[in-house]
């Protein structure tokens, strides 16, 4: 988790990567369901058809061991297409 749990309800997109909230943290799973009900898109990236993948808009069933390749590809696109805030990258300790 890299965000406050109560922020999940009102987000536009939930990206779950190698984490099964239904097993690991049922409270988080409830927030993901609420986000879906509020119109959020759900993307699950896991080789298994975990519980959250059943409600996901997209389930990316990676082959075991390929998760780093996907993250590298995503990072490449973010950098090449300038889809990041350069100011935050220059000074990662500034308050947002």
Domain map of the chain by residue range?
5-63
Q: Of the candidates 36, 45, 40, 56, which has an alpha carbon nearest to the alpha carbon of residue 18?
A: 45
This prediction has a pTM of 0.80
63 DSSP 8-state letter: P
CA 19 and chain centroid, separation: 9
As a whole number of angstroms, the distance between CA 53 and CA 31 comes to 15
Long-range CB contacts for residues 66-74, cutoff 8 Å, separation at least 24 = 67/17, 67/18, 70/45
Q: At the topology level of CATH, where does 5-63 sit?
A: Dimethylsulfoxide Reductase; domain 2 (3.40.228)
Specify the pairing of strand 58-60 against strand 41-45: parallel
Instruction: With a cut of 70, say whether residue 92 has pLDDT above it.
Output: no
For residue range 9-67, list pLDDT tens digits in order: 999 999 999 889 989 999 999 999 999 999 999 999 999 888 899 999 999 999 988 98
Q: Collapse the DSSP code of 24 into the 3-class scheme (helix H, G, I; strand E, B; otherwise coil) and give the result.
A: helix
What pLDDT score was predicted for residue 94? 66
């Amino acid at each position: 988790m890299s965000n406050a749990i109560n922020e999940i309800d009102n987000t536009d997109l939930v990206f779950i990567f190698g984490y099964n909230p239904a097993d690991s943290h049922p409270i988080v799973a409830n927030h993901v369901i609420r986000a879906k009900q509020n119109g959020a898109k759900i993307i699950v990236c896991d080789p298994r058809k975990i519980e959250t993948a059943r409600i996901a808009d997209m389930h990316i069933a990676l082959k075991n061991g390929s998760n780093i390749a996907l993250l590298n590809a995503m990072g490449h696109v973010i950098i090449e297409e300038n889809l990041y805030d350069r100011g935050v990258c220059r000074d990662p300790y500034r308050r947002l």
